[in-house]
Amino acid sequence: MASSSGAGPSAGSTPEPSGPPESGSAAETFASPARRGRVRLRRAAVMAVPATAIAAGLMILTAQGALGVQFAISGMPFTVTATNLDGEGFAQFGGLDQMAEGSPNEGDTGGQVLVVVSAIKKATLEKLCQSVDLGGTNLLITAGAGSQKVSATNLTTDSTELSGDAAFDNIEIGNDAGTLDKSHTRGPKGVFSQQADTVHIGNLRQTNYATTAAVFKLPGLKLRFSDQGC
Amino acid sequence: MASFRHWRAVRPFWGGLLLTLGGAEILLTEKASLKVVMHIGMQGLAGYLLPLLMVICGLLILFNPAQRLFYSILGVLASLGTWLTSNLGGFLIGLLLGVVGSCLTFGWLPDQEPRPARSWRRRVRRGHREPAAQP
């Protein structure tokens, strides 16, 4: 039996012989190679129980806003809405997003999307809602509906559409994007940009292509599928 | 086909496959351009390292099953970590696949009694021998 596995799909990529070494490593007394391996429930539970407990703990801590989580999404457009956004260290400039080569979302764009990059060093959002269209159904993430607000640091979003009622403090419009200094990032040289010390946006609505490496704290997190987006 | 069945029978096939798929699903949800990731630095890179580790552990479980315990422990830790670093574990789907895959791998043992003798009581009644590893 062990010799017949030489024709198996793994034969080329691994020198591992099937059968005897495994039974040896598991301290089994049965050496018959004809018998199949199987999952023993009790053994699996040894790992499943603590793993489930840790996963539940992580989710509860996240939903309480005690743990921050990171997002890095791209290629699929998704919508973000919030009733209020307050930010410190705001910068905005144009940019070009390049999709992964051969991405199914390319369409007739050649894989490039013109985006507005908004960077906010510290942001708090009220009633955050984020939805991704998965074709037929939407994955909906809501947070910050209660008394605690969602907070994010080093938030960078690449959006194609942005709407809301905005108010800025100490705004500078028309800077070169390479000289931005109020936020955590800067753009390419020779591109139009603007920056401000603080920003307030009411009824925010963004269509994004990417949110990168922002650490989000999401009190009151809810993750669900829904027919409607945000 | 018979050789594939045998190949599958001597390794934790479903465990390794689920862990690999889970890692791949998480990677799919975060296809940000590498330029941005490098700019963000270590924090952003961790979001890619953990799902990559899941894929590697899953493949190693399939192709080097002798070390499955180590890979499954590494895999379950990486899966749990992706909740924090990678889009809530690929919006929960990848995380669940990874944890289930790791647990199946951890619980897998070679050379077991065939299916019909699964129930412990029935096996005793029929007078079959108990496997040594069972409590």
Rg of chain B over Cα atoms, rounded to whole angstroms, equals 18
Please report which confidence band the pLDDT of residue A93 belongs to, taking 50, 70 and 90 as the band edges. confident
- Identify whether the C-beta of residue A190 lies closer than 8 Å to the C-beta of residue A178: yes
Same domain membership, residue A135 and residue A156 = yes
- How many CB atoms within 10 Å of residue A17? 14
* C-beta of residue B82 within 8 angstroms of C-beta of residue B95: yes
Q: Is the pLDDT of residue A104 over 70?
A: no
Answer yes or no: do A30 and A107 share one domain. Answer: no
Q: Which residues of A touch B24 (CB under 8 A)?
A: none
Which is nearest to A77 in space by CA: A122, A165, A139?
A139
Are residue A107 and residue A180 in the same domain, yes or no?
A: yes
Domains contained in chain A, number: 2
In this structure, is the dihedral angle defined by the CA atoms of residues B83, B86, B91 and B92, taken in order, positive or negative?
Answer: negative
| A40 and A147 co-located in one domain | no
Does residue A196 sit within a domain? yes
Is residue A12, in this structure, part of any structural domain at all? no
Q: How confident is the model at residue A116, as a pLDDT?
A: 82
Residue A11 within any structural domain of the chain: no
Least confident of A5-14, A35-44, B13-22: A5-14
What's the complex ipTM?
Answer: 0.76
The shortest C-alpha distance from A99 to chain B (Å) reads 7
Indicate whether A123 and A50 sit together in one domain. Answer: no
- pLDDT for A138 equals 84
Asked, for residue A142, whether it belongs to a domain, the answer is yes
Of the candidates A159, A179, A154, A156, the one whose C-alpha atom is nearest the C-alpha of residue A97 is A159
The Cα–Cα gap between A129 and A218 comes to: 11
Chain B residues touching residue A99 (CB < 8 angstroms): 31
Q: For chain B, 135 residues long, give each residue's pLDDT as a single digit of tens.
A: 788 888 888 899 999 999 999 999 888 877 655 555 555 556 667 788 899 999 999 999 999 999 999 999 999 999 999 998 888 888 888 999 999 999 999 999 988 777 655 555 555 555 555 455 544
- Among the candidates A7, A29, A59, a domain finishes at A59
Question: Is A9 part of a structural domain of the chain?
Answer: no
Question: Is the Cβ pair B95, A55 closer than 8 Å?
Answer: yes
- The H-or-E segment that residue A54 falls in is helix A41-63
Q: Are residues A121 and A160 in the same domain?
A: yes
Give the closest residue to A90 by CA, choosing from A202, A224, A200, A203: A200
Q: Is residue A129 part of a domain?
A: yes
Answer whether residue A17 shows pLDDT above 60: no
Q: For residues A51 and A85, give the distance between their C-alpha atoms in angstroms, rounded to a whole number.
A: 36
Question: Does the pLDDT of residue A211 top 90, yes or no?
Answer: no
Within-domain flag for A152? yes
Q: Are residues A173 and A73 in the same domain?
A: yes
What range does the domain containing A25 cover? Answer: 17-59
Give the list of residues 6+ apart from residue A221 with CB closer than 8 angstroms, or none.
A59, A62, A63, A141, A142, A143
3-class DSSP state for residue A221?
Answer: coil
Same domain, A121 and A44: no
Could you tell me if A146 and A34 lie in one domain? no
| Cα–Cα distance, B123 to B116 (Å, whole number) | 9
Q: Nearest chain B Cα to A141, which residue?
A: B91
Q: Which of A55, A72, A75 sits opposite B80 (nearest CB)?
A: A55
Quick one: A53 and A80 in the same domain? Answer: no
Alpha carbons A173 and A177: distance in angstroms, whole number: 10
Nearest alpha-carbon partner for A124 in A150, A153, A89, A155: A150
Asked whether the predicted pLDDT for residue A2 surpasses 50, the reply is no
B108 to A45: CB separation less than 8 angstroms, yes or no: no
Among A193-197, A224-228, B13-17, B120-124, whose mean pLDDT is lowest? B120-124
Residue A70 burial by CB count (10 A; 0-12/13-18/19+): exposed, middle or buried?
buried
Supply the pLDDT for residue B16: 95
Domain ranges of chain B: 2-110
* Spatial contact of A204 and A85, defined as CB atoms under 8 Å apart: yes
Question: Where is pLDDT greater, at A229 or B14?
Answer: B14
Residue A208, token pair as written in the block:
């994004």
CB A28 to CB B131 under 8 A? yes
A176, A190 Cβ separation under 8 angstroms = yes
The phi and psi torsions of A47 (rounded to 5 degrees) equal -90, -35
Residue B94: the pLDDT is: 92
**Is residue B95 a contact partner of residue B83, using CB atoms and an 8 Å limit?**
yes
Name the closest residue on chain B to residue A52, using Cα atoms.
B99
Residue A210 lies in a domain: yes
- Which residue in B5, B11, B31 has the most chain A C-beta atoms within 10 A of its own C-beta, making it the best mutation to test that interface? B31
The band of A7, judged by pLDDT with boundaries at 50, 70 and 90, is: very low
Which of B31, B106, B115 faces A47 most closely, judged by CB atoms? Answer: B106
At residue A160 the predicted structure's pLDDT band, cuts being 50, 70 and 90, is confident
- The total number of residues shown for chain B amounts to 135
Contacting residues of B for A77, CB less than 8 Å apart: none
Whole-angstrom distance, CA of residue B28 vs CA of residue A105: 12
More confident residue, A136 or A58: A58
Examine the domain organization and report whether A183 and A119 are in the same domain: yes
- Residue A172 and residue A85 share a domain: yes
DSSP bridge pairs for B79 = none
Q: Which chain A residues are within 8 Å of B132, Cβ to Cβ?
A: 27-29
Token pair listed for A214:
């922002």
Closest of B106, B44, B45 to residue B74, by C-alpha: B106
N residues, chain A? 230
Tokens found for residue A143: 């947070």
- Residues near B93 by beta carbon (within 8 Å), at least 6 away in sequence: B22, B25
